């Protein structure tokens, strides 16, 4: 038995910034996406049920922000944070990908609640973070040195990532 480590990487956005993709032009399309959840046999948070076609853009944004309220004890060694609406991060990610599809939102690989400063250095602690993979937002292109190096490597660049662990 030993200790297993894994490493994650991505670019994150919090809900307060994310809701800025909702505007007067796409408000009704977002509301219609939310209303489709009302017909689902899955658990629907009560706060979604208050959304109607008459809901203003500001009220819609406030409701989406409220969907991402976090409980628990962020910042502790084992923070054990959770979304207070009763959905896990997978459900939140799926919901926001679906609901924000009519907007300029890029779509997300996952959402996470980073809860420990020790385990999540540099990550926003105690909030729902939506993660975009590097390949979604960046295009890698070799410069002249990179092209020369690629030739030296037989036409294949072996990109590596690793984590150092000491005991």
Indicate the domain borders of the chain.
11-139
pTM comes to 0.80
Nearest-angstrom CA–CA distance, 92 and 86: 10
For residue 111, the SS3 value is strand
Cα 153 to chain centroid, rounded: 36
Give the separation between CA 31 and CA 63, rounded to whole angstroms. 11
pLDDT in tens, the chain (167 residues): 566 666 777 889 999 999 999 999 999 999 999 999 888 877 888 899 999 999 999 999 999 999 999 999 887 766 688 999 999 999 999 999 999 999 999 999 999 998 877 777 788 888 999 999 888 888 888 899 989 988 888 888 887 656 566 55
Please say whether the beta carbons of 107 and 97 come within 8 A.
Answer: yes
Q: Strand pairing partners for 133?
A: none
Under DSSP, the state recorded for 83 is E
| Residue found under tokens 């609640």 | 113
Nearest C-alpha neighbor of 120 from the set 77, 90, 160:
77
């Amino acid at each position: 038995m030993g200790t297993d480590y894994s490493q994650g990487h991505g670019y994150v956005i919090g809900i307060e910034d994310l809701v800025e993709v909702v505007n007067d032009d796409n408000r009704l399309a977002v509301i219609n996406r939310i209303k489709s959840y009302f017909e689902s046999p899955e658990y629907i948070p009560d706060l979604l049920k208050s959304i109607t076609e008459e809901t203003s853009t500001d009220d819609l944004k406030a409701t989406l922000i409220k969907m991402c309220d976090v409980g628990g004890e962020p910042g502790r060694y084992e923070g054990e944070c959770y979304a207070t609406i009763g959905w896990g991060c997978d459900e939140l990610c799926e919901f926001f990908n679906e609901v924000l599809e009519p907007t300029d939102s890029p779509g997300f690989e996952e959402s996470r609640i980073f809860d420990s400063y020790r385990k999540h250095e540099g990550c926003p602690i105690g909030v729902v973070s939506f993660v975009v993979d590097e390949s979604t937002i960046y295009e890698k292109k070799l410069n002249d040195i990179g092209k020369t190096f690629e030739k030296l490597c037989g036409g294949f660049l072996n990109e590596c990532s690793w984590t150092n662990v000491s005991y």
